[in-house]
Amino acid sequence: MSDRVRIGTRGSALALRQAEAVATALRAAWAGLACEVVPIRTSGDRLATAHLAEIGGKGLFVKEIDDALLGGRVDVAVHSLKDLPALRPDGVVLAAFPPREDPRDVLVADPATTLGTLPRGARVGTSSLRRSVQLRARRPDVRTVAVRGNVDTRLQKLRQGQYEALLLAAAGLRRLGLVEVTSTPLDPDEMLPAIGQGTLAVECRADDARVARLALAIDDPPTRAASLAERALLASLGGACTTPLAAYARIDGDALRLDAWVATPDGVRALRDVAIGDARAPEAVGRQLAGRLLGAGAGELVQAGRTS
The answer to whether position 190 is within a domain reads no
- Residue range 244-285, pLDDT digits in tens: 999 999 999 999 999 999 999 999 999 999 999 999 999 999
The pLDDT value recorded for residue 56 is: 47
Does 90 lie in the same domain as 3?
A: yes
Q: Are 214 and 26 in contact (CB under 8 A)?
A: yes
Q: How many CB atoms lie within 10 A of CB 225?
A: 23
Does 248 lie in the same domain as 116?
A: no
The answer to whether position 191 is within a domain reads no
Residue 82's CATH number: 3.40.190.10
For the question of residue 83 being annotated catalytic, the response is: yes
Counted domains in the chain: 3
- Inter-axis angle of helices 282-295 and 298-307, nearest 10: 80
- DSSP-based helix, strand, coil % in the chain, nearest 5: 35, 25, 40
Helix intervals (H) in 139-178:
151-159, 170-175
Does 209 lie in the same domain as 73?
A: yes
Specify the amino acid at residue 136: R
Looking at residue 236, the DSSP 8-state letter turns out to be H
Mean residue pLDDT of the chain comes to 92
Residue 143's domain spans which residues? 105-185
Distance CA(273)–CA(295), nearest Å, equals 12
Q: Is the pLDDT of residue 240 over 80?
A: no
The pLDDT value recorded for residue 1 is: 45
Q: Which of 242, 263, 233 is nearest to 307 (CA)?
A: 242
Does 209 lie in the same domain as 76?
A: yes
- Inter-axis angle of helices 282-295 and 221-237, nearest 10: 30
Q: Is the pLDDT of residue 241 over 90?
A: no
Q: Is the pLDDT of residue 159 over 80?
A: yes
- Residue range 35-91, pLDDT digits in tens: 999 999 876 665 555 454 444 455 677 999 999 999 999 999 999 999 999 999 999
Distance CA(256)–CA(5), nearest Å, equals 34
Distance CA(123)–CA(148), nearest Å, equals 15
Query: Which of 3, 45, 67, 83 is labelled catalytic?
Result: 83
The pLDDT value recorded for residue 42 is: 77
Does 29 lie in the same domain as 10?
A: yes
Does 206 lie in the same domain as 80?
A: yes
- Residue range 164-214, pLDDT digits in tens: 999 999 999 999 999 888 999 999 999 999 999 999 999 999 999 999 999
More confident residue, 239 or 6: 6
Does 306 lie in the same domain as 236?
A: yes
Length of the chain: 308
Residue 228's CATH number: 3.30.160.40
Q: Average the pLDDT over 229-250 and give the result.
A: 92
pLDDT band for position 27 (cuts 50, 70, 90): very high
HSE-CB of 256 using CA atoms within 13 angstroms: 27
Q: What residues does 34 pair with on adjacent strands?
A: 4
Distance CA(284)–CA(23), nearest Å, equals 32
Does 91 lie in the same domain as 203?
A: yes
Q: What SS3 class is residue 252?
A: strand
Q: What residues does 125 pair with on adjacent strands?
A: 145, 166
Classify each residue of 129-157 as buried b or exposed e, where b means 16 or more C-beta atoms within 10 Å of its C-beta: bbbbbbbbbebeebebbebeebbeebbeb
Does 174 lie in the same domain as 32?
A: no
The answer to whether position 169 is within a domain reads yes
Does 283 lie in the same domain as 168?
A: no
Query: What are the residues whose beta carbons fall under 8 Å from the beta carbon of 153, sequence distance 6 or more?
Result: none
The answer to whether position 120 is within a domain reads yes
Would you say the C-alpha torsion 15, 235, 50, 271 has a positive or negative sign? negative
Q: What SS3 class is residue 161?
A: coil
The pTM for the full model equals 0.92
Q: How many CB atoms lie within 10 A of CB 175?
A: 22
Least confident residue range of 15-19, 87-91, 147-151: 147-151
The pLDDT value recorded for residue 45 is: 61
Q: Is the pLDDT of residue 305 over 90?
A: no
Give percent above pLDDT 90 in the chain. 84
Q: Are 230 and 285 in contact (CB under 8 A)?
A: no
Beta strands in 2-148 (DSSP E): 4-9, 34-39, 76-80, 92-96, 105-108, 123-125, 143-145
Using left for φ > 0, alpha for ψ between -120 and 50, and beta otherwise, residue 272 falls in beta
Does 161 lie in the same domain as 79?
A: no
Q: Which of 91, 104, 103, 96 is nearest to 79 (CA)?
A: 96
